[in-house]
C-alpha cells in the first residue's frame, strides 16, 4: 500500500467520521469522494457502510436519553423503513438507480437551497404520525434501491421544531439499522474480502477519533443552528450527489 493510497484512505475516514459525528449522517457522501479514487466502488461502499454504523453508534450514545424518551416516535420511522428496504432491493430490477439518485439529488438541492435562503426556519410543531411512517417507509425503499435511506427523513425532521437531540434520536438509529441491513446484504454477496477487511481496520480508528471531534462540535450547537446545519447539508449533499452522477 503506497503512501498516497494510505493518505486517501485516512482522509476519507477522517472526513466521513467527522461529518457523521457532527450531523448524524453524510459519511458516504464525504468518504466516497476519497475512497473511489483508490479502490473499486464495491469495496468503497462496503467499507463506508461499516464506518457509518460504527461512527453512528457513538452519536446514538450521545442522544440515548432522547431515544428512550420518545421510542414510539422512532418506531414510526424505523419499522416502516425496515419493511421498505427489501422492496427497494427488489425495485432494482425495474428502476434505474442513476435516475433515482438524480431525482433525489435534485430534490435535496431545491429543498436545501430554498430553506437556506429563508431567514426563518419551517415550523411543523403538530404530531404527524402518518406522515412520519410514510417518510420512514420511503426512506427504506430508497436505502435498498440507491443507498439513500437518510435523505427524506433528514429533510422531514429538519422541518420539525424538535430539539437537536430529539432530531438526532430519530435520524441516527434509523440510519444505523438501515445500514446494518445493507451490511448483511453485502456480507452475503461476499463483498468483505480479506483485502477489504484490512483497509477497514486501518480506517476504523481514524473514523472513531474524528467522529468524536464532530460530536464535540455538535454539543456546542443550538437547536436552530443544528436544524440549519441539516438543511445546509441537504443542499451540499445534493450537489455532491448530482456531481457524481453527471461526471
At 96-107, the pLDDT tens digits run 767 777 887 888
Burial of 220 (0-12, 13-18, 19+ CB in 10 A): exposed
Q: What is the pLDDT of residues 160-217, one digit of tens each?
A: 888 999 999 999 999 899 889 888 888 888 889 999 999 999 999 999 999 999 999 9
pTM for the model stands at 0.83
Looking at residue 97, what is its pLDDT? 66
What distance in Å separates the CA atoms of residue 71 and residue 36, rounded to the nearest whole number? 37
Distances (CA, A) of 143 to 153, 184, 187, 191, 224: 11, 13, 16, 18, 27
Encode pLDDT of 47-68 as tens digits. Answer: 888 898 999 899 899 999 999 9
Residue 113 in this model has a pLDDT that exceeds 90: no
pLDDT in tens, 3-50: 888 998 999 999 889 988 888 877 877 887 788 888 887 888 888 888
Longest dimension (CA), the chain: 55
Delimit the domains of the chain by residue range.
3-246
Instruction: Supply 164's cell numbers.
Output: 437537536
Residue 127 confidence (pLDDT): 82
Return d(Cα 5, Cα 9) in angstroms, integer.
Answer: 6
What's residue 126's pLDDT? 82
pLDDT of residue 101: 76
Alpha carbon distances (Å) from 147 to 47, 74, 100: 13, 20, 11
Q: Which long-range contacts (CB under 8 A, 24 or more apart) does 31-35 make?
A: 32/244, 33/240, 34/8, 34/9, 35/8, 35/9
Look at residue 30 in the predicted model and tell me its pLDDT: 81
Q: Give residue-wise pLDDT tens across range 114-167.
A: 777 777 777 777 888 999 999 999 988 887 776 678 888 888 988 888 899 999
Angle formed by the axes of helices 27-35 and 223-246, nearest 10°: 40
pLDDT, residue 96, reads 72
Helix and strand numbers, DSSP H then E, in the chain = 11, 0
Quickly tell me which residue has 441537504 as its cell: 234
For 159, the 3-state DSSP assignment is coil
pLDDT of amino acid 42: 81
Orientation of helix 164-188 relative to helix 41-62, angle to 10°: 150
The residue behind cell 426563518 is: 120
Torsion over CA: 158, 160, 164, 168 (sign): negative
CA angle 15, 151, 157 (to 5 degrees): 105
pLDDT of residue 128: 87
**Does residue 235 come out as left (phi exceeding 0), alpha (psi in the -120 to 50 range) or beta?**
alpha
**pLDDT score recorded for residue 146:** 66
Structure confidence by residue, pLDDT tens digits, 77-97: 999 999 988 888 777 667 676
pLDDT value of position 93: 66
Look at residue 205 in the predicted model and tell me its pLDDT.
95
Q: What are phi and psi of 94, to 5 degrees?
A: -115, -20
Rounded to the nearest integer, the mean pLDDT of the chain is 86
Answer for the pair 13, 44: CB distance below 8 angstroms, yes or no.
no
Amino acid at each position: 500500500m503506497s503512501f498516497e493510497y494510505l493518505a486517501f484512505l485516512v482522509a476519507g475516514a477522517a472526513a466521513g467520521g467527522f461529518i457523521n459525528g457532527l450531523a448524524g449522517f453524510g459519511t458516504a457522501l464525504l468518504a466516497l469522494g476519497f475512497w473511489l479514487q483508490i479502490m473499486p466502488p464495491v469495496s468503497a461502499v462496503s467499507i463506508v457502510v461499516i464506518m457509518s454504523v460504527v461512527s453512528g453508534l457513538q452519536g446514538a450514545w450521545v442522544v440515548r436519553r432522547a431515544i428512550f424518551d420518545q421510542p414510539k416516535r422512532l418506531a414510526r420511522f424505523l419499522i416502516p423503513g425496515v419493511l421498505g428496504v427489501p422492496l427497494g432491493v427488489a425495485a432494482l430490477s425495474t428502476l434505474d438507480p442513476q435516475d433515482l439518485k438524480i431525482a433525489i439529488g435534485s430534490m435535496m438541492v431545491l429543498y436545501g437551497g430554498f430553506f437556506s435562503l429563508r431567514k426563518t426556519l419551517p415550523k411543523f410543531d403538530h404530531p404527524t404520525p402518518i406522515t412520519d411512517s410514510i417518510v420512514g417507509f420511503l426512506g427504506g425503499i430508497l436505502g435498498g434501491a440507491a443507498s439513500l435511506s437518510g435523505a427524506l427523513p433528514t429533510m422531514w425532521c429538519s422541518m420539525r421544531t424538535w430539539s437537536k437531540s430529539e432530531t438526532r434520536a430519530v435520524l441516527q438509529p434509523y440510519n444505523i439499522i438501515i445500514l446494518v441491513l445493507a451490511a448483511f446484504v453485502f456480507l452475503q454477496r461476499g463483498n468483505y474480502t480479506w483485502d477489504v477487511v484490512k483497509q477497514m481496520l486501518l480506517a476504523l480508528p481514524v473514523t472513531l477519533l474524528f467522529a468524536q471531534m464532530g460530536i464535540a462540535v455538535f454539543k456546542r450547537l443550538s437547536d436552530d443552528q443544528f436544524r440549519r446545519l441539516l438543511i445546509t447539508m441537504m443542499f451540499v449533499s445534493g450537489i455532491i450527489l448530482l456531481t457524481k452522477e453527471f461526471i
